[in-house]
Structure 1
Amino acid sequence: MKNFFKIFFASLLALVVFTVIGIFVLIGFIASATSAEKPVIGRNAVLVLNLADHFREQKQDNTIASLMGDAEADIPGLYDVVRMIYSARSDSSVKGIYVICGSDNNGFAASEELRRALLEFKRSNKFVIAYGEAISQKAYYVANAADRLYCHPQGGVEWDGFASGTLFMKGLLDKLEIKPQIFYAGKFKSATEPLREMQMTEANKLQTSVWLGDLYNEFLAAAAATRKTDTATLRALAVNGAIRTAHDALQHQLVDGLRYDDEVKSEIFRRLKLNEEAAINFVTLSDYAKAADFKKSEYSEDKVAIIYAEGDIVDGKGDENQVASNEFRNIVRKARFDKNVKAVVFRVNSPGGSALASDVIWRELALLRKEKPVVVSMGDVAASGGYYISCNADSVFAGAATITGSIGVFSIIPDFQSFFKNKLGITFDRVKTAPYADMGSSDRPLTETEKRFLQASVDSIYYTFKSRVSEGRKKDIAFIDSIAQGRVWAGRRAKDVGLVDRIGTLQDALDCAVRMAGLKEYQTREYPEKKGLLEQLVGNYKRAISKDLIRQEIGEKQFRMLKEVKNTEKMIGIPQARLPFLLGFN
């Protein structure tokens, strides 16, 4: 036995030493890899903008994944991409941009910012060529800003108009004898419709037709401006189903030519005045981000903080890619107490979530605004709780295609009693010391008194929500109620009704914050701050890998549906200020 323990502890010590050495070797490898010299772009560079890449608001901290060859981990953030395109205008090594435009995995407002950046780039008299084999409408919206837009001869251009659909589960719940027990405030608050209706209500159809029509009008107006035609003609092409093939798209002048990949590359060679035996110096945005000085670099003690609030709004600590009340309360507070931060730009891309978490963040922003300018920039979505945390800024910017508003509240308490008893043969019983000790239990229906309690709570939160908006927008609460009721608005119409001050980009919002602070020289500071290597090693990396594997196996649309099912589970019993389940269109 003595020899056993001697061998055991010796082996254990060796394992510990080996592990420690391994960690130091790994850290050394990562440090050497991340501290490599700035890459050289070289001459005659052509930036590649692949719209299939999803540009999040802020580049993710996935150094480890990047070193392991995960290309998605190196994708820059949306504002970084926009700044790189602007910077490339004056970069003599960059001669043009090549847009790969088959699909577009970015939201409509993000696509709007990319489109604007390309239009600005073209003013430098450098070329922009776009090419796609089968071009989706959202990709077309961006790619149509190019000098020349080409399609594969056997491909096509999607030109069928926009549609937005919802999956309704009431029939399934009825068959399973599950009663959702829903409480909501706002006749347009459609987030719970999939659980309580068999189809869209008239109110929801009305609001959806309006915001979807607004986005479609933006799409047609942008296309008409660059194709030198009118929106009526373009609309008629969709109504009549006229664009079925690539040749149809060419005939109706939606594209500039039908070309194979090698023919498009030949044109790029001609633009660069190079022999086709050479290789085109294509530069990915990930590589350009490492090589170019596209961020504001002059030193200044004065700073403007850019805070990215992207994802569902949740209570407490939360997970990666969520707007967690604890984390963002501390971030906003840090910006408030930092004397060098003279203004804050709050970039919101969120469908909302917990009403309580939204109020926690709202409070910190209200305190911040008393001491320094706060400007909100809305991304693809800043609705419900996303609008709650946006409404109290000095100025609110949105894209024309931003989805916002949805000022309303709901709560869900499911009743599984019949399901458990009749489908599974399971029953429950309990002892309690007060009548409402088990209120909210999912194994029994709510009493009428309990229902009144919950509806009163939802109504109270809704009133508070409207009060916050009334105070922030400096408008009468009765007027706010008339444009609230859970109604969803697109950016330009949101400006018309007073929910938004200006239509503009994140850069426009930053310029506004700088003017309000009276700054001549400044640096930007971005939050949330990047995680350290150790935090990545022991923290979110494993979760990110598992999500990526699931997404790859079941597909993006199915992954989104799975995510919404999980979100629904988290919503139970917690008053929510959020958008409908799957607010999307094609």
Structure 2
Amino acid sequence: MNFLRNLAASIIGTLIALGLIVMLFLLIAATFGDTKKVVLKSNSVLELKLENIVKDYAPKSNDPLDELLGFNDKKLGLNTVINAIENAKTDDKIKGISISTLGVNAGIAQTQAIRDKLFEFKESGKFIFAYADFYDQKSYYLSSVADSIFVNPVGGIDFKGLSSEVLFYKDLQEKTGVKMEVIRHGKYKSAVEPFLYNEMSENNREQISSFLKSIWNEMLVDISANRGVTITELNKIADNLLARTPKLAIENNIIDAAIYEDEYVDKLKKISGISKDDDLNKISLSNYISKGKGRVLSTAPHKIAVIYAQGEIIYGKGDEDKIGQYLIIKALKKARKDKKVKAIVLRVNSPGGSALASELIWRELELTKEKLPLVVSMGNLAASGGYYISCNADRIFAEPTTITGSIGVFGILPNFSKLAKNIGINAEQVSTNTGANYSVFEPMSTKFRLVTAEGVENIYNIFLERVAKGRNMSKQAVDSIAQGRVWSGVEALNKGLVDELGNLNDAILYAAELAEITDYKTRNYPSYKVDLEDKLSNFPFVKSKNKIILEELGESNFKIYQTVKQFSKLRGIQTRLPFVITIN
């Protein structure tokens, strides 16, 4: 036995040593080996592809080992994309931009912000062309800013209007015996509706229809301005799918021509002043950013702190994908202590989450506002808890396509009592007192439901008070537009929930105005540090459980699993937007 044990230990030790040696050789090779240097040539075309995930803030690690071992995810920061386009505008080596993306892995508000920046670029006199084998709606919306739009002769354009699908799990609960016990306030608080009904309520259908129409109209206004097609005609094209083939798309002025990619490259060469026989000088967006073009350099003495709150709100530390009160509060305190920081912009992109964490962040923002001007910029989402942490700013900016509001509260608890009964499990409890207790193996008691409902009502009233104070409205006025109702940025402006429609840069400019400064630079917060254990999770031999389940179930089934799992893990009262709303 000792021999076998020692043999196994020797084999494992040898394998670990070999792994470390291989990693060391890779590191040495990366450090001393030849690497292809990115060169920006004259008469270059900046190639815009947005197939990688676009986040409001996506800082890269400065650790070279992270890049070598693939720890840096393939992602783009919206701020760096905007800065790169701004720099390209005045870069003598950049003749124009080619949009050639198969899809846009960004939210609609982010896409609109990039499109607006591209429009500014075009006004500088430089060209923008677009080409794709096939356009989905978001990639077409982005590409519609171009001077000329081309598609593959056997391609097409998916232009049919926006739709949203919501999955319902009531029958699934009945079949499995696993039920979600729900207590909510807000007739529009549809985050928990999939667990209560088998079909969409009229209130939910009303709000989804309303903000979809508002967002679609914004897209149509932009497309109409660039393509010279009226909004009425664009809706007719969408209703009758009159862009489904290149021929129909050309006839309806959705695109300019159907050509092959080599013909498109020839057009880029011609407009860039390059001979047809020479190679086209292209530089990808990521390579352009790697040359430092994702930053706007400044020696200004003053700073405006931009604090990014992105992801669902959790109670705890948080990270690049989740808003935890610890990191946000730490960032606010750090910005306040920096004497060069003269104002703060909070960039919010969140569907909400923990009510307690939202309140703690709100409190720190109140303290911050006593010392510095505070402006909020809303991204794709600033709803429920995302709105909670936004409502007390000196001024709130939203994109026209931002989804916001959802001022409502719910509590949700999993219950396995039916499943336990079906499989022969009986749970017995012993308590010292008669207070309302809850067991997942017993039906929820009336007493516990009443106590929980009281907590939900209390949080809802506090939420109303926070909004009323921040927006200078009465609680009754807030309640009339609350009830968990979701609004687009345009609708929110009309309801008084935001002050102005604009992007992050507009919010920064306003913050500078409040601080009475003209010469300034921005400083991004918070800073994220990833533990080695989290880094190693990218390797196949330590593959995450979610990745394994995704591979086994497929993407569609995995989304159902993920939704049920997220709700089952919720703790405490929630101010959260529906998980399951997707816009296509």
TM-score by length of 2: 0.91
1:542 aligns with 2:537: yes
Q: In the TM superposition, what whole-angstrom CA distance separates every residue of 1:55-83 from its partner, at most 9, and x where no partner exists?
A: 1111243564543468x835430111011
> Is contact 1:44-1:95 (8 Å) kept?
yes
Which residue is 2:518 aligned to? Answer: 520
Q: Deviations over 1:234-276 (max 9, x none)?
A: 1112223333322111111100111111111110111122223
Distance 1:502 1:30 in 2: 49
Alignment of 1:442-461 (within 5 A): 442-461=440-459
Which amino acid in 2 is paired with 1:328? I
- Which residue does 1:140 correspond to in 2? 140
Q: What is residue 165 of structure 1 aligned with on the other side? A: 165
Instruction: String of CA shifts for 1:406-447, please: whole Å, max 9, x gaps.
Output: 00000112321121111x22221121111237x232111122
Matches within 5 A, 1:262-277: 262-277=262-277
**Secondary structure of residue in 2 paired with 1:160:** coil
Higher mean displacement: 99-108 or 384-393 = 99-108
**1:31, distance to aligned residue in structure 2 (A):** 7.1
Provide closer, same or farther for how the CA distance between residues 451 and 16 of structure 1 changes in structure 2, counting only shifts above 3 A. closer
Counterparts of residues 18-37 of structure 1 (less than 5 Å): none
Residue in structure 2 matched with residue 468 of structure 1 by the alignment: 466
2:68 corresponds to? 67
Of the structure 1 ranges 145-154 and 20-29, higher mean CA displacement relative to structure 2 is found in 20-29
Aligned to 1:566: 565
Give the whole-Å Cα distance in 1 for the aligned partners of 2:8 and 2:165. Answer: 62
Q: 1-side partners of 2:48 and 2:552: how far apart? A: 26
Residue 471 of structure 2 is aligned to residue 498 of structure 1 = no
Q: Tell me, what secondary structure is at the counterpart of 1:180?
A: strand
Match in the other structure for 1:4:
none
Q: Which amino acid aligns with 1:42?
A: K
1:462 aligned partner, one-letter code: Y
Greater mean deviation of Cα atoms: 320-329 or 202-211: 320-329
- Give 1:279's aligned residue: 279
> After the TM superposition, which of the residue ranges 205-214 and 101-110 deviates more from structure 2?
101-110
Give 1:53 shift: 2.4
Following superposition, the deviation at residue 482 of structure 1 comes to 0.6
Offset of 1:218 from its aligned partner? 1.0
1:314 aligns with 2:314: yes
CA shift at 1:217, angstroms? Answer: 0.8
Q: Which residue of 1 aligns with 2:4?
A: none
Deviates more, 1:145-154 or 1:558-567: 558-567
State the SS of the aligned residue for 1:283: strand
Separation (CA, whole Å) in 2 of partners of 1:549 and 1:64: 26
* C-alpha distance 120-505 of structure 1, shift in aligned 2 (>3 A): same
Task: Give the conservation status (yes or no) of the 8 Å contact 2:300–2:519.
Answer: yes
> Secondary structure, in 3 states, of the residue corresponding to 2:210?
helix
Aligned to 1:93: 93
Superposition map of 1:102-117 within 5 A:
102-117=102-117
Deviations for 1:484-521, whole angstroms, at most 9, x for unmatched residues? 10000000111111111111111111111111112232
Alignment check: 8 A CA contact 2:27 2:65 kept: no
Alignment of 1:309-348 (within 5 A): 309-348=309-348
- Could you give the per-residue CA deviations for residues 434-477 of structure 1, whole angstroms, max 9, x where no partner exists? 1237x232111122111110001000000111111111111111
- Whole-angstrom distance in 2 between the partners of 1:526 and 1:153: 44
Contact 2:83 2:296 (8 Å CA) reproduced: no
**Aligned-partner Cα distance in 1 for 2:525–2:551:** 29
The CA deviation at 1:562 is 4.1
**Which residue identity is paired with 1:252?**
N
2:424 is matched with: 425
Residues 65 and 73, structure 1, Cα contact 8 Å, conserved in 2: no
Alpha-carbon distance change, 262 to 17 in structure 1, aligned in 2, over 3 angstroms: closer
- Report the Cα distance in structure 2 between the residues aligned to 1:413 and 1:228, rounded to whole angstroms: 53
Number of residue pairs aligned between Structure 1 and Structure 2: 578
Q: Which amino acid aligns with 2:134?
A: A
Identity of aligned residues (%): 38
CA distance in 2, matches of 1:43, 1:344: 39
Label 1:319 to 1:511 Cα distance change in 2 as closer, same or farther (>3 A). Answer: closer
- C-alpha separation in 2, matches of 1:299 and 1:480: 44
Q: Which residue in 1 is equivalent to 2:505? A: 507
Give the Å deviation of 1:357. 0.7
SS in 1 for 2:462: helix
Deviation at 1:32, TM superposition (A): 7.3
Shift of 1:26: 7.3
2:223 & 2:202 partners in 1: Cα distance? 31
Tell me how far 1:291 sits from its aligned partner.
1.4
Worse overlay, 399-408 or 323-332 = 323-332
Letter of the 2:46 counterpart? L
Cα deviation 1:125-148 (Å, max 9, x = unaligned): 111111111111111111000011
In structure 2, relative to structure 1, the CA distance for the partners of 1:33 and 1:182 (3 Å cut) is: farther
Partner of 1:297: 297
* AA partner of residue 426 (structure 2): T
Q: 1:39 to 1:515 in 2, by over 3 A?
A: farther
Would you say the 8 A contact 1:66–1:74 is kept in 2?
A: no
Write the distance in 1 (CA, Å) between the matches of 2:143 and 2:552.
Answer: 29
Aligned match of 2:40: 41
Q: Distance in 2 between matches of 1:16 and 1:264?
A: 51
For 2:193 and 2:49, how far apart are their aligned partners in 1? 36
Q: Distance in 1 between matches of 2:464 and 2:137?
A: 36
Tell me the amino acid that sits aligned with residue 263 of structure 1: E
Query: Which segments of 5 or more consecutive residues in structure 2 lack a partner in the other structure?
Result: 1-6
Question: Structure 1, residues 121-176: CA drift from partner, whole Å, max 9, x if none?
Answer: 10121111111111111111110000111111111111211111100000111223
Tell me the SS of whatever aligns to 1:414.
Answer: strand
Bigger shift: 236-245 or 301-310? 236-245
Q: 1:539 to 1:68 in 2, by over 3 A?
A: closer
Question: Would the aligned equivalents of 1:397 and 1:501 in 2 still touch at CA under 8 Å?
Answer: yes
How far is the alpha carbon of 1:555 from its aligned partner? 6.0
The gaps in structure 1 that reach 5 residues or longer are 1-6
Structure 2 counterpart of 1:584? 582
Contact 2:89–2:121 (CA under 8 A) maintained in structure 1: yes
- Cα distance in 1 between the residues matched to 2:33 and 2:76: 18
- CA–CA distance in 2 between the matches of 1:537 and 1:429? 43
Alignment partners' CA distance in 2, 1:19 and 1:209: 55
Instruction: Give the deviation of 1:292 after TM superposition.
Output: 3.8
> Which residue of the partner structure matches residue 54 of structure 2?
55
User: Corresponding residue for 1:477?
Assistant: 475
Q: Using the alignment, how far apart are the partners of 1:511 and 1:80 within structure 2? A: 18
In structure 1, what is the Cα distance between the partners aligned to 2:457 and 2:574? Answer: 12
1:219-230 matches, cutoff 5 A: 219-230=219-230
CA–CA separation in structure 2 for the residues paired with 1:285 and 1:549: 32
User: Would the alpha carbon gap of residues 303 and 224 (structure 1) be closer, same or farther in structure 2, given more than 3 Å must change?
Assistant: same
Secondary structure of 1:297's aligned partner:
coil
Is the contact made by 2:52 and 2:74 (CA closer than 8 Å) also made in structure 1? no
Aligned to 2:368: 368
Task: Tell me, yes or no, if the aligned pair for 2:164 and 2:583 is still in contact at 8 Å.
Answer: yes
Letter in 2 for 1:542: S
